[in-house]
Structure 1
């Protein structure tokens, strides 16, 4: 028995039984979760194309700080609501909660195209953030329930590839729609097109809303890992730092990369969308490969904790090459390092989530801890958008904002090395 499986056995009391899914249906649901997170990232990052569009910023009379505030608005509500969503999915299941909030965020994205004031625009972005808060806790709850440790890296690699592909696909599509049809049409189209996803979701996913008896058992199992035990765990606090550090780079790219390529490197809005998309396509492909490769190494007897930590640290340190983009005078070299540095971060992507949200977390607490970790991820998104806008305004260029990325990447690598230890995981109350 591996260290990972020993830990899992020790920290995973028996949950209420559910009908086993066929292998094909299990992967089909994972495919729907991946498609849903892709849609969610299109709807959350389409704002980056808008704030790089002069007619949009002129319409709302935005300064660089206003642009940063708008880019960060989504993340504040997204982060706050994560904890509540984690608690909800631990008790009430995934299917119906996801369907309701998916509908809300798609409709609100479409309504953004009708915003007539900056205040209204901010309010709609806050509402989208609150509705999308269901995505990550629900998805990791479902993956934890349906994939064992030997397939977790691959499953998470596929799932996390969805959010990167959301950026990869969303950036050029949003930019193209803005250029050809205007920002209003862009929001309406990207919001409404995703609603089609509800049809297979309601058809394929089994109902996991527990009855009264199952609800009591679910609460009993959840209470074996108390909030007190969660908050005393160095693993949990370390994972907040790691998720923040990882998210800062990704959300900077999602929010500010198109503007950087247009304003500093002289690319058109459409070109900036294409190259931003390539950066996120790179991290998505590397994430799937790295998750699979780590699974193969673990299956051959390597220590799972050490393997995943090595991938995470390597991804963080390799992504520090983003500084080469800021320091070069050539646009082609800057674009190259933008793509390469974010792609290298993919070595950390799936393994980070497999380690911090599954392998080192007791099964009954996955939803709550994932929600707690997502607060840090959301804060990184808000901080990256707002802090980068402020640093841009005071320095007049993008070198300082990109140097801040380097600082957080090094912090994430160091925290992974020092704090991700099985003996520091949240404890289960055996009674």
Structure 2
């Protein structure tokens, strides 16, 4: 098949490529969260002599480089297209994930995690650019909802697979297998996605659009900061679950590593189902004439309050009650997932600024991951239990709900400037 034929075929199958993007997002989370299962393995902890604080910093490493490179990766994707930047970065993070097995010290582990985070920074800028370019307005909500499943299914699958591989083989084999097997994804990606290197005219048009809503207009908008705070607070909880849930289940609730992986799997699958259902339900209510802003705020606040029930698990006396709230709290937080995404990135944001706004919010996501992993590790060290980490989750979710109520107002949306060529 010629290159022209491949390009034509890929252009006619955006939904197939969307599924491929979703799988790529899933794989990135598998490689991102596999370390969480390793940090619940006593052999891994003993080999590196890890304290709770060490585990916190190690779990946060990936998020710091991920956050720093969000805007630069967006710049690269805008100028060099989606296909090749994504392919190169995908290969790099898979190799880095497999190379974790070669680490022999805490500093080397930290460096490898930084490399994975730096490479994975391409995923969201590339994916959202593809969705924006290939789907019309009537389908962008559905496309975005499908894509977001990768961020929930990935931790679920990653925790279960990583735990099984560690128990069956070893933590070193787990990193090699999860890292290198992901490379299979590159085959359909290279065959199906056309080279979308932009022309000079396309670059010029993009620059003109960007001038109408410059970065300063976003940074002075309370709406953007409301979205930033809510996204940070919601994601703090999600990454607490992705980073510390396996260790909590093993160390404080007495589950085996295999059972902790399965319960983490159930928790993230549940939040994925709730997230999609809540997004659909909000859309139906809005379609009946209700104010989109009010409806989405209500779902966001309900999700934040639901997530705060994680603290009930901390104080539960029985293992059954603790495990119930462990699953229920993350599942209830799913009420906020799709609606916070729509509220922060679409409902109140001018179309010409969605890309830049997404970059800012992705920085919030990355910072939340880093702060959650490291702060919860320190709180665990101080309190000698997971009660303080869970209390921090409740505090952040409360702050996020208040920010959504107070700051997300139409009159405070980013302003659009008139551009004169």
Structure 1 equivalent of residue 166 of structure 2? 178
2:10 touches 2:192 (CA, 8 Å); kept in 1?
no
Structure 2 equivalent of residue 79 of structure 1? 67
2:9 touches 2:192 (CA, 8 Å); kept in 1?
no
Inter-CA distance 208–226: structure 2 relative to 1 (3 Å threshold)? same
Alpha-carbon shift at residue 365 of structure 1 (Å)? 2.5
| CA distance in structure 2 between the aligned counterparts of 1:246 and 1:141, rounded to whole angstroms | 24
| CA distance in structure 2 between the aligned counterparts of 1:306 and 1:390, rounded to whole angstroms | 38
2:221 touches 2:412 (CA, 8 Å); kept in 1?
yes
* TM-superposition CA deviations, 1:22-50 (whole Å, max 9, x none): 99723222211111111010000001011
Alpha-carbon shift at residue 21 of structure 1 (Å)? 9.9
What secondary structure does 2:212 align onto? Answer: coil
Gaps of 5+ in 1: 1-18
* Structure number with higher relative contact order (C-alpha < 8 Å, ≥ 6 residues apart): 1
1:328 aligns with 2:335: no
Structure 2 equivalent of residue 66 of structure 1? 54
TM-score under structure 1 normalisation? 0.91
TM-score under structure 2 normalisation? 0.94
Q: More deviation in 288-297 or 342-351?
A: 288-297
* TM-superposition CA deviations, 1:84-113 (whole Å, max 9, x none): 123333444322221221111111111111
| CA distance in structure 1 between the aligned counterparts of 2:158 and 2:226, rounded to whole angstroms | 31
Q: Which of 210, 232, 243 is the matching residue for 1:244? A: 232
Q: Which of 23, 27, 33 is the matching residue for 1:39? A: 27
1:167 touches 1:280 (CA, 8 Å); kept in 2?
yes
Alignment RMSD (CA, Å): 1.9
Alpha-carbon shift at residue 238 of structure 1 (Å)? 1.3
| CA distance in structure 2 between the aligned counterparts of 1:195 and 1:280, rounded to whole angstroms | 24
Structure 1 equivalent of residue 148 of structure 2? 160
1:88 aligns with 2:76: yes
Alpha-carbon shift at residue 393 of structure 1 (Å)? 0.8
* TM-superposition CA deviations, 1:285-326 (whole Å, max 9, x none): 111112222222333333222222221111111111111110
1:113 touches 1:188 (CA, 8 Å); kept in 2?
yes
* TM-superposition CA deviations, 1:190-220 (whole Å, max 9, x none): 1111111122222323332211222222222
Structure 2 equivalent of residue 308 of structure 1? 296
Alpha-carbon shift at residue 258 of structure 1 (Å)? 0.6
What secondary structure does 1:206 align onto? Answer: coil
Structure 1 equivalent of residue 38 of structure 2? 50
Alpha-carbon shift at residue 361 of structure 1 (Å)? 2.1
Q: Which of 276, 280, 283 is the matching residue for 2:271? A: 283
Q: Which of 403, 407, 418 is the matching residue for 2:395? A: 407
What secondary structure does 2:69 align onto? Answer: helix
Q: More deviation in 145-154 or 255-264?
A: 145-154
1:108 aligns with 2:96: yes
Report how many aligned residue pairs link the two structures: 413
Matches within 5 A, 1:219-234: 219-234=207-222
Gaps of 5+ in 2: 1-6
Alpha-carbon shift at residue 148 of structure 1 (Å)? 4.6
| CA distance in structure 2 between the aligned counterparts of 1:33 and 1:336, rounded to whole angstroms | 32
| CA distance in structure 2 between the aligned counterparts of 1:107 and 1:321, rounded to whole angstroms | 39
| CA distance in structure 2 between the aligned counterparts of 1:294 and 1:152, rounded to whole angstroms | 15
Inter-CA distance 310–358: structure 2 relative to 1 (3 Å threshold)? same
2:10 touches 2:193 (CA, 8 Å); kept in 1?
no
| CA distance in structure 2 between the aligned counterparts of 1:358 and 1:138, rounded to whole angstroms | 17
Structure 2 equivalent of residue 10 of structure 1? none
| CA distance in structure 2 between the aligned counterparts of 1:408 and 1:284, rounded to whole angstroms | 21
* TM-superposition CA deviations, 1:217-273 (whole Å, max 9, x none): 222222222111121111111111011101110000111111111111110011000
1:157 touches 1:349 (CA, 8 Å); kept in 2?
no
2:11 touches 2:194 (CA, 8 Å); kept in 1?
no
1:77 touches 1:126 (CA, 8 Å); kept in 2?
yes
| CA distance in structure 2 between the aligned counterparts of 1:56 and 1:271, rounded to whole angstroms | 18
Structure 2 equivalent of residue 119 of structure 1? 107
Q: Which of 344, 356, 368 is the matching residue for 1:368? A: 356
Q: More deviation in 197-206 or 344-353?
A: 197-206
Alpha-carbon shift at residue 20 of structure 1 (Å)? 11
Q: More deviation in 43-52 or 290-299?
A: 290-299
Alpha-carbon shift at residue 139 of structure 1 (Å)? 2.0
Structure 2 equivalent of residue 137 of structure 1? 125
2:275 touches 2:338 (CA, 8 Å); kept in 1?
yes
Q: Which of 329, 333, 352 is the matching residue for 1:341? A: 329
Structure 2 equivalent of residue 189 of structure 1? 177
| CA distance in structure 2 between the aligned counterparts of 1:178 and 1:166, rounded to whole angstroms | 18
What secondary structure does 1:279 align onto? Answer: helix
Alpha-carbon shift at residue 150 of structure 1 (Å)? 4.5
| CA distance in structure 1 between the aligned counterparts of 2:138 and 2:310, rounded to whole angstroms | 33
